[in-house]
Structure formats: C-alpha cells, structure tokens
Amino acid sequence: SSELTQDPTVSVALGQTVRITCQGDTLRSYYASWYQQKPGQAPVLVIYGKNNRPSGIPDRFSASNSGNTASLTITGTQAEDEADYYCNSRDSSPYHPVVFGGGTRLTVL
C-alpha cells in the first residue's frame, strides 16, 4: 500500500499563515482529506476533497493539491488551531483502500 508522509511538527506565529503538507504517490490519483485532533478528543474533519469544508469549519482552512502533495493552509492562524492534523486518502490497492498520514503537530507561537 502507499504511504502518506507528513512533517511531524510545524509552528506558526499567531495570526500568520501556515501550510501543512502530505506527500504520497496515491495523491497523484486521489484527493486527500484533513482532520484536526485536539488532546483527548476525536478527530474532526476540516477539509475533504479538492477544497471542501464541512459546515461549521472556519474559512481560514483551505486545501490545495499539486502532483504527489496535498496541502492544508490555515490563514490567520488562531490559538485554538493548535492541534494535530492528519491527512487521509484512498489507495490504489483494492486490499488497502484507506490510508492515513502520520500526523503533524501544529504549535501556535
């Protein structure tokens, strides 16, 4: 199966813009989705597909894709955005259709 690779840690100054990336060959064919997870809580879907936000997710969250890389961008990062972020996608293998990235811990300075 394919793997999805994320930087383990990323930091951003309050109010600035940050990009969190997810790399993998499967992303050349399939869209990624993104989840936010705060300590002790279940993951929350923040972006799915090309660049779609579920109801209730602020518009400072956006996504883009290029080649084998999917990116989650937070514009005007807020303190409450400090969390772990995971990407996921489908895989080309019919035997392992779902894959997750290893996660990125975002620190807001």
Partner 1 sequence: QLQLQESGPRLVKPSETLSLTCTVSGGSITNSNYYWGWIRQPPGKGLEWIGTIYYTGNTYYNPSLKSRVIISEDMSKNQFSLKLSSVTATDTAVYYCAREIRDGQNLYFFDFWGQGALVTVSS
Binding site for partner 1 (CB under 8 A): 1, 29-31, 33, 35, 42-45, 48-49, 54, 86, 88-90, 95-103
| In the complex, minimum distance from the CB of residue 29 to partner 1, in angstroms, rounded to a whole number | 7
Please name the residues in contact with 66: beta carbons below 8 A apart, sequence gap of 6 or more.
none
Residue 58 or 97: which CB sits closer to partner 1? 97
Residue closer to partner 1 by CB (options 1, 78) is 1
Q: Which is nearer to partner 1, 33 or 77 (CB)?
A: 33
Strand order in the sheet with 61-66: 5-6, 18-23, 69-74, 61-66
What is the smallest separation between the CB atom of 14 and partner 1, expressed in angstroms? 26
**CB of residue 70 to partner 1, shortest distance in Å:** 12
The CB-of-7 to partner 1 minimum distance in angstroms stands at 13
- Rounded Cα gap, residues 100 and 109, in angstroms: 27
Pick 16 or 49: Cβ nearer partner 1: 49
The residue with tokens 């813009």 is 17
- DSSP result, 58-93: -TTEEEEEETTEEEEEESS--GGG-EEEEEEEE-S-
